[in-house]
């Protein structure tokens, strides 16, 4: 049997009990959870906040729940194979250099635009007439490519050619 995720109510209790100084082991007992579940929750869903000129790491239950739900929503993506060798190399290289999967997931749209420019710029002008993109929000700045952009129909990845 797989482990059951913490609920929002359990996260709120966890946050309140931590603030009043209750030990993690006691919190686990009160929630009827394994201590490893509590430790994993605190490690995965902590938050950095500015305190003066410094940053402090805290556990904020509402934020923690939002992060956990976002992670859950995208969990299926981790089961998709990385078929593009360049993307595979990029992911592997950054994971080995200490990036977290969450950080890799949040690659900005600006980085997508810069990568596209890197791909298109060395091509001769006659080879840069058009491209076909998916409907992702990372392509909102497609005009910066300087070429005609077409958009594939939803769920029609074959319209985009090679990945």
Residues in the chain: 163
Q: Give 17's pLDDT tier (boundaries 50, 70, 90).
A: very high
Neighbours of 60 (CB within 10 A): 15
Neighbours of 106 (CB within 10 A): 9
Strand (E) or helix (H) holding 47? strand 47-51
Task: Specify the pLDDT at position 51.
Answer: 74
Domain ranges of the chain: 8-73, 80-158
DSSP 81: -
Task: Specify the pLDDT at position 27.
Answer: 96
Task: Specify the pLDDT at position 1.
Answer: 46
Residue 12 has pLDDT above 80, yes or no: yes
Of residues 11 and 131, the one with the higher pLDDT is: 11
């Amino acid at each position: 049997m797989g482990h059951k995720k913490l609920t929002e109510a359990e996260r709120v209790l966890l946050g309140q009990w931590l603030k009043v100084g209750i030990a993690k082991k006691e919190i686990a007992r009160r929630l009827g959870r394994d201590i490893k579940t509590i430790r994993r929750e605190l490690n995965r869903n902590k938050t950095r906040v500015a305190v003066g000129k410094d940053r402090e790491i805290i556990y904020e239950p509402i934020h923690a729940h939002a992060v956990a739900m976002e992670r859950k929503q995208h969990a299926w993506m981790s089961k998709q194979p990385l078929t593009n060798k360049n993307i595979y190399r990029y992911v592997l290289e950054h994971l080995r250099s200490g990036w977290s999967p969450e950080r890799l997931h949040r690659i900005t749209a600006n980085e997508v635009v810069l990568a596209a420019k890197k791909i298109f710029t060395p091509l001769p002008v006659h080879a840069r007439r058009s491209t076909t993109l998916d409907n992702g929000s990372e392509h909102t700045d497609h005009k910066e490519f300087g070429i005609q952009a077409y958009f594939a129909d939803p769920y029609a990845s074959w319209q985009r050619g090679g990945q």
